[in-house]
Amino acid sequence: MNIELIREHCISKPDVTESFPFDDDTLVFKVNGKIFAMVNLSGDTQLNLKCDPELAMELREKYMAVQPGYHMNKRHWNTIAIDGSIPDALILDWIDHSYNCVCLNKGKRKLGSRKKK
């Protein structure tokens, strides 16, 4: 997984915009004006994603690379270290989940249901 794959997946979704509202290093993805993903462009790659609170806790317990959201509401956001320890398909599922939490308010949507291409 790399920044370009993350970016391509995020901007492929309907009504998504990308911008740098905080600094030149943090790429932010919004749907309908609300943030659903953020990724840093320098240093070790980290991805912030919105998540159902119960699922967020489960993911933190299961994966060392998943931590409470950095500079975010730790109940609703996770920071994922993109270090190769989590399969790309799972990260893409988590991006989909975050998008759906924000634009559809369906935070409890079942993960892993991404359509195969």
pLDDT at 52 over 70: yes
113 within a domain of the structure (yes/no): no
Mean residue pLDDT across the chain: 89
Count up the domains in the chain and report the number.
Answer: 1
pLDDT value for 105: 65
pLDDT one-digit tens code per residue, 58-104: 999 999 999 998 888 788 999 999 999 999 999 999 999 999 999 87
Range of the domain at 95: 3-103
pTM of the prediction? 0.85
- For 46, the enclosing helix (H) or strand (E) is strand 46-50
Between helix 88-103 and helix 3-11 the angle, nearest 10°, is 40
Strands 46-50 vs 77-81: parallel, antiparallel or unpaired: antiparallel
8 within a domain of the structure (yes/no): yes
55 within a domain of the structure (yes/no): yes
Q: Identity (one letter) of the amino acid at 112?
A: G
